[in-house]
C-alpha cells in the first residue's frame, strides 16, 4: 500500500520510514507525476501500530522555528537518503555531540516530528530553499504548508 493513500499530499520527507520500527516502510519511485520518492508500506510485516502516520508532520503538525536566513538549494542536496540522515542526526544529538542538520522546511519538520517536536540545544538546524524546478512539477509542493519563497 502506498502511504500516500493514508496521508494526503505526502511530500516524501521520509519521517514515516524512521517511525516504523518494523522496517515496513520504504521510499519508492518517484511515482508518475511526482518528483520525489514516496513511502510504500509492506502490509506483511506491519502490526498496524500506526506510528508511520502519527509521526508524519502533515498528519501531526509540529511547531516550526522561525528562520530568517535560508540557504540556496544545491546539487549536493539532491537525492539524499533522508531517513538515514534523520537517524544519524538523532543518534549524534542523543550522544550529546554538537550536530548540524541542513534541509528544506519539510525535512526539518520531519526531523522535529521524529524528535518529539523538540530540538535540543546541541542541534543547529539550517534551512534550505526548495529546488524550484522540482517544486514546480510536484503536486505536493504546490500545496505545501512549509514553502517559503526565494527572495
Q: Where along the sequence are the contacts to ligand SF4 (CB under 6 A)?
A: 3, 7, 10-16, 19-20, 22, 24-25, 39, 41, 46-52, 56, 58, 104-106, 110, 130, 135, 140-141, 144, 146-147
Q: Is 40 left (phi over 0), alpha (psi -120 to 50) or beta?
A: beta
Q: How far apart are CA 79 and CA 48, in angstroms?
A: 29
Q: How far is the CB of 107 from ligand SF4 (least distance, A)?
A: 7
CB of 92 to ligand SF4, least distance (A): 21
| Minimum CB distance to ligand SF4 smaller for 98 or for 133 | 133
Residue nearer to ligand SF4 on the CB measure, 84 or 97: 84
Amino acid at each position: 500500500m502506498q502511504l500516500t493513500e493514508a496521508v494526503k499530499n505526502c511530500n516524501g520527507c521520509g519521517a514515516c520510514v524512521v517511525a516504523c520500527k518494523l522496517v515496513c516502510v520504504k521510499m519508492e519511485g518517484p511515482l508518475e507525476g511526482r518528483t520525489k520518492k514516496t513511502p510504500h508500506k509492506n502490509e506483511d510485516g506491519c502490526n498496524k501500530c500506526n506510528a508511520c502516520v502519527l509521526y508524519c508532520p502533515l498528519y501531526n503538525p509540529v511547531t516550526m522555528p522561525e528562520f530568517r536566513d535560508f540557504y540556496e538549494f544545491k546539487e549536493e542536496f539532491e537525492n539524499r537518503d533522508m531517513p538515514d540522515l534523520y537517524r544519524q542526526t538523532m543518534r549524534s544529538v542523543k550522544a550529546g555531540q554538537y550536530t548540524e542538520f541542513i534541509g528544506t522546511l519539510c525535512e526539518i519538520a520531519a526531523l522535529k516530528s521524529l524528535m518529539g517536536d523538540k530540538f535540543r540545544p546541541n542541534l543547529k538546524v539550517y534551512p534550505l530553499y526548495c529546488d524550484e524546478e522540482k517544486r514546480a512539477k510536484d503536486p505536493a509542493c504546490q500545496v505545501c504548508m512549509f514553502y517559503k519563497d526565494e527572495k
